[in-house]
Structure formats: structure tokens, C-alpha cells
Amino acid sequence: MPKNFIPLAVLCLSLSACSTLTSPFSSDTAPSGKTVAPYREQVELTGRLNVVYQKDDKPESATVNFNWQQTAQRTDVTLYSPVGSTLATIAVTPQQVVLTQSGKAPRSAPDVDTLSAQMLGWSLPVSGLRDWLQGYAVAADGKRFVAAPGNDSVTTKDGWRLRYVSWQEVGQNAGENVAGTLPQPRRIDAERHASAQADAVSLRIVLDPTPSATAP
């Protein structure tokens, strides 16, 4: 396997602490208009992730493709190499996280944060991405952030700088060909600067088009 492909970087895609799978951003409270489409507890997404980080004072990177499926109580992620080989699967429930790699015994832990720290040696935004992927976050002041093409960046409560770089337009009932569209994220950049508590990390997430979606 090429040096720059690091299967265990897939943990960043589980993206949710086990005890907090349900988002506060329910669809019936999301604002309407040209803000991001209403939050959905049940969603399936595919895309690509690139992570850049420091190891032994040198930059390292990894790139994976992913399939992401979530419900209110579960997240399942399958990670693939750029050539299509399955690198790992991750199942996240309120009770535990299970990581399975080809040819190896599954590894489990009470929460994603613990498992990612054990396996990678550096922390990831595991409690945020269930929301970030749909354009939602908790800002540094603790208030709800709802992204929009005209309001595309925020610093989160846990110190990540998010920028929604590009968008796709979808029907108001996602996947349906209906009149009227709302934006959904297409590319998300996230970075955290180095501090006494954590190393510098940057993520670039590119989501595949959803059904009936068009780029603005």
C-alpha cells in the first residue's frame, strides 16, 4: 500500500461521539429560505476525505473515499482506497464504536474519541462531523451555526475553523425533483491550529452530488 494511504485515518469519518449521536439540529427547527437544507437524522452520503497533519515535525497526509450512512442512533462508515479497495468499516452506536479492518480482528471502545486517540495518536473532530456534513455546527459562543452561501465560515466550540467552500442545490425534499431548491455542502474545509492540548490538523471533505443536485 502506498505510504500516504493510512487506513486508520478513516476514524475521522465516524465523526460522532457515541453518547451524542442525535443532533440538536432537528429538521423542524432548521430555518427556511436560502440557508442550508434542513437537518436530516437519516442520511447517506459518499465522498472523499483528505487529512493533513504533523508527525515527527513533518507533514503527513492520507486520502480515502467513503460511504456514510447515519440514523438517529447509529453511524456506519465504509472507507475505500482511491483504487476502490475496502480499508475499513466503522459502526458507531450509543454503546460503542467497532472498527474492522480486512484480515484483522475488530477493535472496539466505548467512544470514538478514545479509539481514535489510541489508534492514531492525535485527536479528530469526532463529535462534530455528523452535523458539519449537513452544514450545521456549534459555534465558539455555544450558539447554533447554520451555514449558507452567504454565511460560510465559523469557529466551533472545540476550536475548529470550518469553511463551506462550495455548494450543491437540491430539491427541498432531498432527492426529489421538486420546484424550489436549498443548498447543501459540496466541499468543506476544516482546520485546527496547534495548541498545548492538540496538534494541527486540516481536513478537506468533498461530497458527491446527491440525487437531483446541481452545482451553483
What mean pLDDT comes out for the span 5-24?
46
Choice between 181 and 117, residue whose per-residue pLDDT is larger: 181
Mean confidence (pLDDT) of the chain: 77
User: Does the pLDDT of residue 205 top 50, yes or no?
Assistant: yes
Choice between 31 and 83, residue whose per-residue pLDDT is larger: 83
User: Does the pLDDT of residue 114 top 90, yes or no?
Assistant: no
What are the pLDDT digits (tens) for 31-73? 334 688 899 999 999 999 998 887 778 888 889 899 999 999 9
**Phi, psi of 131, rounded to the nearest 5 degrees:** -90, -45
What are the pLDDT digits (tens) for 127-151? 688 899 999 999 999 999 999 999 9
User: Does the pLDDT of residue 22 top 70, yes or no?
Assistant: no
What mean pLDDT comes out for the span 98-118?
77
pLDDT at 13: 41
H or E segment and range at residue 67: strand 58-71
Residue found under cell 489508534: 119
* Model pTM score: 0.78
Q: Cβ neighbours of residue 67 under 8 Å, at least 6 residues apart?
A: 44, 45, 46, 77, 78, 80
Choice between 178 and 55, residue whose per-residue pLDDT is larger: 55
pLDDT at 161: 96
Supply 175's cell numbers.
432527492
User: Does the pLDDT of residue 26 top 80, yes or no?
Assistant: no
Choice between 119 and 153, residue whose per-residue pLDDT is larger: 153
Supply 211's cell numbers.
440525487
Contact (Cβ atoms closer than 8 angstroms) between residue 216 and residue 167:
yes
Choice between 207 and 170, residue whose per-residue pLDDT is larger: 207
Choice between 156 and 34, residue whose per-residue pLDDT is larger: 156
DSSP class per residue in 147-194: -BTTB-EEEBTTS-EEEEEEEEEEESSTTS--SSEEEEEEEEEEEE--
